[in-house]
């Protein structure tokens, strides 16, 4: 089981780091530029660029939108790999041998995705870093102003809120695609369809749960 968990960590977590880093860095940069371009009133301080980038990245972009992207990447991988095992009778082979196939296939994924907050933490850092680089090197703000914005009205609970969401999204990312792969019927074409359906449902559930958690955790 330990070997399986390490394999899942490699397939699901480590293999996602590249795309997460790339997207986070550049989206952080775009958020920073967009904010700067919309601050046309000279009375509005420039440090708001850093503030808006931090809030956007930490509260929504990193936990929620990266999770939706991961529903496409990790989710499709999970559904198609389990679905292919179903189609090629590998799951039947496990059952006939007396292996609890659901436990064997899904449990390591759930454990591996306990490291998902680590991915989102990197996304948060790189998003803000991308915002800083785009803001400073694009000539939209000074470095000290951006850093002042990052520090302004910082509420530590926002980080807690983001990571609570992340843990819940990790469970959604592990279970919904596994369900669609495990219980699929048919052949190769159905594996593709199951991956698409799994992506749609995972995204919908993430968006709904995001709304509910925000309502529960951030409103008085």
Partner 1 sequence: MIEVKNVEKSFGESKVLKGISATFDAGKTNLIIGQSGSGKTVLLKSLLGIFTPDVGTISFDGRIYSELSADEKRALRTEIGMVFQGSALFDSMTVEENIGFPLKMFTTKSPEEIRERVNTVIDRVNLVNANHKKPSEISGGMQKRVAIARAIVNNPRYLFCDEPNSGLDPKTAIVIDNLIHEITVEYNITTVVNTHDMNSVMEIGDKIIFLKNGILAWEGSKKDIFKTDNEAIVDFVYSSNLFKKIRKAQNKEE
Asked if residue 185 binds partner 1 (CB under 8 A), the reply is no
Q: Which of 37, 44, 99, 207 binds partner 1 (CB under 8 A)?
A: 99
Phi and psi at residue 99, to the nearest 5°: -85, 135
Among 10, 92, 186, 208, binds partner 1 (CB under 8 A): 92
Out of 7, 10, 118, 137, name the contact with partner 1 by CB under 8 A: 7
For the record, the structure tokens of 167 come out as 């843990």
Residue closer to partner 1, measured from CB, 103 or 160: 103
Q: Does 84 bind partner 1 (CB under 8 A)?
A: yes
C-alpha separations of 48 from 6, 18, 58, 59, 191 in Å: 42, 29, 15, 16, 47
* Closest approach of partner 1 to the CB of residue 88, in Å: 6
Asked if 89 interacts with partner 1 (CB under 8 A), we say yes
The answer to whether 146 and 31 have CB atoms below 8 angstroms apart is no
- How far, in whole angstroms, is CA 210 from its chain's centroid? 12
Q: Which is nearer to partner 1, 56 or 195 (CB)?
A: 195
| 18 lines the binding site for partner 1 (CB under 8 A) | no
Number of residues counted as binding partner 1 (CB under 8 A): 13
Residue 96 sits in the site that holds partner 1 (CB under 8 A): yes
* Of 64, 197, 209, 215, nearest in space to 127 by CA: 64
Q: Least distance in Å: CB of 104 to partner 1? A: 9
C-beta of residue 172 within 8 angstroms of C-beta of residue 138:
no
Beta carbon of residue 176, minimum distance to partner 1 (angstroms, whole number) = 22
Nearest to 58 by CA among 128, 117, 116: 128
Confirm if 54 and 8 have CB atoms less than 8 A apart.
Answer: no
Nearer to partner 1, 138 or 187 (CB): 187
Residue with smaller CB distance to partner 1, 43 or 97: 97
* Separation CA 168–CA 161 (nearest Å): 11
Applying CB under 8 A, among 17, 30, 37, 88 the residue interacting with partner 1 is 88
Report the Cα 111 to chain-centroid distance in Å: 16
Look at the block and give the residue holding tokens 């991915």: 119
- Restricting to residues 113-172, name those near partner 1 by CB under 8 A: none
- Under the rule (CB under 8 A), what is the footprint of partner 1? 7, 84-85, 88-90, 92-93, 95-99
């Amino acid at each position: 089981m330990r070997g399986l968990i390490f394999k899942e960590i490699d397939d699901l977590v480590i293999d996602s780091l590249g795309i997460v880093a790339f997207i986070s860095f550049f989206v952080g940069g775009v958020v920073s530029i967009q904010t700067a371009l919309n601050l046309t009133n000279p009375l509005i301080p420039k440090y708001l660029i850093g503030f808006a980038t931090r809030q956007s990245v930490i509260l929504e972009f990193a936990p929620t939108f990266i999770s939706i992207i991961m529903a496409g990447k990790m989710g499709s991988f999970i559904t198609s790999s389990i679905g292919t095992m179903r189609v090629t009778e590998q799951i039947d082979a496990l059952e006939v041998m007396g292996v609890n196939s659901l436990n064997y296939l899904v449990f390591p994924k759930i454990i591996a995705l306990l490291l998902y907050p680590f991915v989102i933490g990197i996304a948060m850092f790189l998003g803000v870093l991308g915002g800083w680089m785009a803001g400073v090197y694009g000539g939209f703000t000074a470095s000290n102003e951006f850093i002042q914005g990052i520090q302004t009205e910082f509420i530590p609970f926002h980080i807690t809120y983001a990571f609570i969401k992340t843990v819940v999204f990790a469970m959604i990312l592990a279970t919904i695609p596994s369900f669609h792969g495990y219980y699929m019927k048919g052949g190769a074409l159905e594996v593709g369809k199951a991956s698409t359906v799994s992506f749609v449902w995972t995204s919908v559930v993430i968006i709904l749960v995001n709304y509910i958690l925000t309502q529960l955790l951030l409103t008085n």
